[in-house]
Amino acid sequence: MRPFDYQQAPDATAAVATVARRPGAMFLGGGTNLVDLMKLGVATPELLVDVSRLPLDTVAELPDGRVRIGAAVPNSDLAAHPLILQRYPVLSQALLSGASGQLRNLATTGGNLLQRTRCPYFQDASLPCNKREPGSGCPARGGYSRNHAILGASDSCVAVHPSDMAVALAALDATVVILGPGGERTLPLTELHRLPGAEPERDTVLAHGELVTAVDLPPGSHRRSAYRKVRDRASFAFALVSVAAVVELADDGGTIAGVRIALGGVAHKPWRAERAEELLRGAQPTETNFGRAAAAELDAAVALAGNAFKIPLAANAMVAVLRDLTGRGGNG
């Protein structure tokens, strides 16, 4: 690990100003991802600005009914918070499916959103990787690709975003609160992360020095929601495929009034299944309709040599979650 300077931020504005004026500076939250990358020689910051002690560690209901999650709230605290358990069970389920209890005690909301990919080629500094060194190549395209993207990838990168929490937040239509040198702005969570295109080194649309300070959840109850994660082992494994869904049935239960679906483990960002949502709105909640919607969403999927199984796996997972949430999985 290379030497680096360390500062504890007195407040969020000072933290942003410090990082913005130092090209080699980075924010430090729980450190569960960044410290690993520093040990591997993948991340080499000149300065770490510690934001973990800032007063951003609360979950509170706002006057308009939104729930604001501070960026420093630990994943374990967020998963167990009464407001989250009562109104947004999909988020609690996603958090509890990630990492281990020890890591969830340290990992923060902001850090979870901004974690880097777990692609083995990215994490090995001795190998070429466009995300780590633009223009050096993407050996995953012709190499080990079991965990890699089937949607939204490019010739430059086929890595996937590893967060479980971010997938649930995408399905919830969450909003991210960002503080930068020019002040505060908000952004739909679905617009925070980006597809790789020709610039895979850019995971998000954040400018250098911008700090995520909070995540806002929409008002109301989203109890008919769930998260399902398919992985190689029962714990401490990243998703091969995951599905977060929020469903609203019409008053008579005969049709789907509203639905939001996000997929994890399949793309460079949490993948909002907009095509499937479009087909399901107003449709009857049947297994046939669920299958058609899933197939339509995955029609654009492109498999590599080692991950073709992800396409039917993602389709089956989507159908299973929708069937469980509606309780109406007949073949009609």
CA triple 181-183-188, angle to 5 deg = 110
List 249's β-bridge partners, or say none.
256
Asked whether residue 296 is assigned to any structural domain, the reply reads yes
SS3 25: strand
Q: Which residue has the tokens 């890591």?
A: 103
| Amino acid 253: pLDDT | 83
Residue 255 belongs to domain with CATH number: 3.30.390.50
* 286 assigned to some structural domain: yes
Per-residue pLDDT at 49: 98
Please report whether residue 73 resides in a domain: no
> How high is the pLDDT of residue 332?
47
Whether 8 maps to a domain, the answer reads no
Per-residue model confidence (pLDDT) at position 329 = 56
Q: Has residue 21 been placed in a domain?
A: no
Is 95 among the domain residues? no
Q: What are the pLDDT digits (tens) for 177-210? A: 999 999 999 999 999 999 999 999 999 999 999 9
Instruction: Give how many domains the chain has, as a whole number.
Output: 1
Contact between 189 and 215 (Cβ < 8 Å): yes
Tell whether 183 is covered by a domain: no
- pLDDT, averaged per 10 consecutive residues of the chain (332 residues), comes to 93 98 97 95 97 97 98 98 98 95 94 95 97 97 97 98 98 98 98 98 97 98 97 91 97 94 98 98 97 98 98 98 85 49
The two structure tokens encoding residue 56:
């951003």
Q: Residues near 50 by Cβ (< 8 Å), separated by ≥ 6?
A: 6, 7, 8, 9, 28
270 lies in which domain range? 225-326
Report the alpha-carbon distance of residue 59 to residue 78 in Å, rounded: 8
Task: Judge whether 249 lies within some domain.
Answer: yes
